[in-house]
Structure 1
């Protein structure tokens, strides 16, 4: 992005600002002082309102610019930026460096302008989070916060940023708190409905509660995940593989904290100091052909792994998609601490 097209000196005129906005086609421009520090934000609406109140085109932009504007620091995640834009209904947020300079600009139409997907997502958010008690004694685990934001909110915003507009939340334990937080989803850029479990239905049983069979492959996620998984690539992979189910996996390394003896016939063959074992583990993210919903027994605890096993038994194709992005399962105090501290 050519940021010079979005900058002009703070002593510029309204006409100068109009020309800059016309040139960058993004309806906004930023004023800067003599040291290059951004001092104000000017939109086409600001200029229009200034002209209505009698300012001339030669008036300085300081007469109309917003000095106390919303901004973010470099490295701020796009989910957080999207939430800010949605919450205060703005279309552009500048990225301002420590020296006050313009480092970039987030545009709402870019964040939401990814390919809109017809796929429906279901987030399983009904568990009790027993391993996180006492935190979860009066709070559902998906609403536990990491860096000031509930885990499940981050997940919803991530899905929205990848073009998912229809989301079901499966709820049970303290589910009304999740409903109160999200309501109909409008504030988060999507439509949210709820699958209310009268009893715990496991990681897959709530799919039998869907009011209708989706027309496109269904995305299913556990509600205690922190991930930057490329949802678009995952859905495209599922389609390209022409399989009935796709399981997203992530790398996991287990380091044995001791020296391991390799023994044969009572003799030491070798001693391996703290060896490691590498695995591809289930990430709790799936894509399912809608027809698989018919295989789920209604009203019973039905784990997703049982559905995957049933696919294998029936020789239905199951794809494996390796995640290359950040992924954390917030299922224990150690994982929660690591997520909160960035370790």
Structure 2
């Protein structure tokens, strides 16, 4: 089976299963076809996130979410003609169809199959005490706790490296020497790692003031050093660049079920009864992409948390966007999270 055949799904496929295919195959597209392989539509990362923003459930059938009129090319087209269509419509993939509109291939932009180097700074926050993970963190900073056979922070580092990033800054506070000794200057991974140290905790946003502002000229990734995720950082960067904003915050959908029947009333009269309603919210996923201007606005020594910093920007009329994360994501804050990470790790990362 050719690789593109692995991204063919039926229109009755659930969004959850289609997303699993999207994440697993790495072609950044799913092709929705009928029993004769006639193309009905396509599903990309953008389609998934638009669905999540509408709070559509993951069990919805994919034909309700897909793009029903995708661009296609015909078998036999020259590379120049295909690239011209890609450039015109800003596409990374194009389904190849025959005269009966049956899928016979998938053309992908050459660059998607080869690692592209990105000069954007990546700022990893590794200064926390990890109090809820004691006694494990009694003599070891949380970012150095091993999940599988590698520290959490190394897994994060390697995820960014595999996506083509090479400029790293690490913020330290608790047991900084252990972190510096382990990662050094990054040469072991073929990247640059530099450190900023918080003498006193400055909040989740204050460490931005310690970065060398004169070297920050591109959108900067900022991520908590206790997260495991398979988030596609390239998709996040493209989203940030396409949606003018001072910052992009990654968010996760969180469900809360009220375990009782909820009564809606007017005075003493019952209007309706809803049994065990589920409320859905977006929560902060601890991953950001920040404009250079925002990074430079935080002065050295400022104590501020990221939500407050972003709320200040919103209050000034600046645009702060959100980017729903449908990929694997785990905040290793409690012992049960750490134990879950140990069981999940084998299926997440290679090598």
The verdict on a shared fold, with TM-score over 0.5 as the criterion, is: yes
Shift of 1:336: 1.8
Aligned residue for 1:336, secondary structure, equals helix
1:290 alignment counterpart = 292
1:129 alignment counterpart = 130
Matching of residues 1-343 of structure 1 within 5 Å: 113-211=114-212, 212-342=214-344
Shift of 1:184: 1.1
Shift of 1:266: 3.9
Contact 1:112–1:160 (Cα < 8 Å) also in 2: no
CA distance in 2, matches of 1:248, 1:316: 17
Shift of 1:159: 0.6
Which has the higher mean CA deviation after the structures are superposed, 281-290 or 248-257? 248-257
CA distance in 2, matches of 1:111, 1:318: 28
Q: Deviations over 1:163-186 (max 9, x none)?
A: 110100000001111111111112
Contact 2:170–2:195 (Cα < 8 Å) also in 1: yes
Instruction: Choose 1 or 2 for highest CA Rg.
Output: 1
Aligned residue for 1:331, secondary structure, equals coil
Q: 1:111 and 1:188, CA in 2 relative to 1: closer, same or farther beyond 3 A? A: farther
Shift of 1:270: 4.6
CA distance in 2, matches of 1:306, 1:295: 13
Shift of 1:264: 4.3
Aligned length: 237
Contact 1:117–1:163 (Cα < 8 Å) also in 2: yes
Aligned residue for 1:119, secondary structure, equals strand
RMSD: 2.4
CA distance in 1, matches of 2:114, 2:121: 18
CA distance in 2, matches of 1:254, 1:341: 25
Which has the higher mean CA deviation after the structures are superposed, 137-146 or 229-238? 137-146
Contact 2:209–2:302 (Cα < 8 Å) also in 1: no
Contact 2:206–2:302 (Cα < 8 Å) also in 1: yes
Question: Normalization by structure 1: what TM-score?
Answer: 0.64
CA distance in 2, matches of 1:306, 1:248: 16
Q: Which runs of 5+ in 1 are unaligned?
A: 4-109
Shift of 1:262: 3.9
Q: 1:111 and 1:238, CA in 2 relative to 1: closer, same or farther beyond 3 A? A: closer
Question: Normalization by structure 2: what TM-score?
Answer: 0.63
CA distance in 1, matches of 2:124, 2:233: 14
CA distance in 1, matches of 2:292, 2:178: 29
Shift of 1:242: 1.8
CA distance in 2, matches of 1:254, 1:336: 22
Q: Deviations over 1:202-247 (max 9, x none)?
A: 2111111112341211111111110111101111111111211111
Shift of 1:263: 4.5
Contact 2:223–2:286 (Cα < 8 Å) also in 1: yes
Q: 1:144 and 1:261, CA in 2 relative to 1: closer, same or farther beyond 3 A? A: farther
Shift of 1:257: 3.3
Q: Deviations over 1:109-155 (max 9, x none)?
A: x9994111010100011111112222112111111222222111110
